[in-house]
């Protein structure tokens, strides 16, 4: 099955390593460009954010996650049961660990967001475990 087509105004963003380094902090670069993972319960990673709003990609500003779909997974990372829209993120299989994992990226600019697990709440049963350092929260 083919993924859904992006919106008509969808434009992919491509940046060189130099361009990424100019707009991202060292930690955002390590996580977003180098597919790293921030430490669980990192202060300021949006795990404890309770306000209504939208989480955008720090690399391109694309809205990716809604507070409406956020839940407390107890893992120390912001967790969502689905993206704000199906075409907002891309996924691929990550073989960096012993078991293959489903990795997710911003569909617009490709920044690494985190991983998807099948231990989330209804209605999807998915836990999109996201690195808060690559998110820009904008309150409603």
Does 129 qualify as catalytic in the annotation? yes
- Are the C-beta atoms of 128 and 104 separated by less than 8 Å? yes
Cross-strand bridge partners of residue 24 = none
Q: What are phi and psi for residue 39, nearest 5 degrees?
A: -70, 145
Which one of 57, 104, 109, 129 is the catalytic residue? 129
How does DSSP classify residue 109? T
The two structure tokens encoding residue 75: 């893992």
CA distance 60 to 24: 11
Catalytic residue positions, numbered: 129
């Amino acid at each position: 099955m083919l993924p859904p087509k992006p919106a008509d105004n969808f434009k992919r963003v491509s940046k060189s390593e130099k361009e990424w380094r100019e707009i991202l902090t060292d930690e955002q670069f390590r996580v977003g460009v180098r597919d790293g993972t921030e430490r669980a319960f990192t202060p300021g990673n949006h795990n404890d954010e309770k306000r209504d709003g939208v989480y955008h990609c720090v690399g391109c500003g694309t809205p990716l996650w809604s507070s409406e779909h956020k839940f407390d997974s107890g893992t120390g990372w912001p967790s969502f049961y689905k993206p704000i829209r199906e075409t907002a993120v891309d996924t691929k299989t990550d073989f960096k660990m012993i078991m293959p994992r489903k990795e997710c990226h911003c569909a617009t600019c490709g920044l690494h967001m985190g991983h998807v697990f099948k231990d989330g709440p209804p209605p999807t049963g998915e836990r999109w475990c996201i690195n808060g350092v690559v998110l820009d929260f904008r309150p409603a």
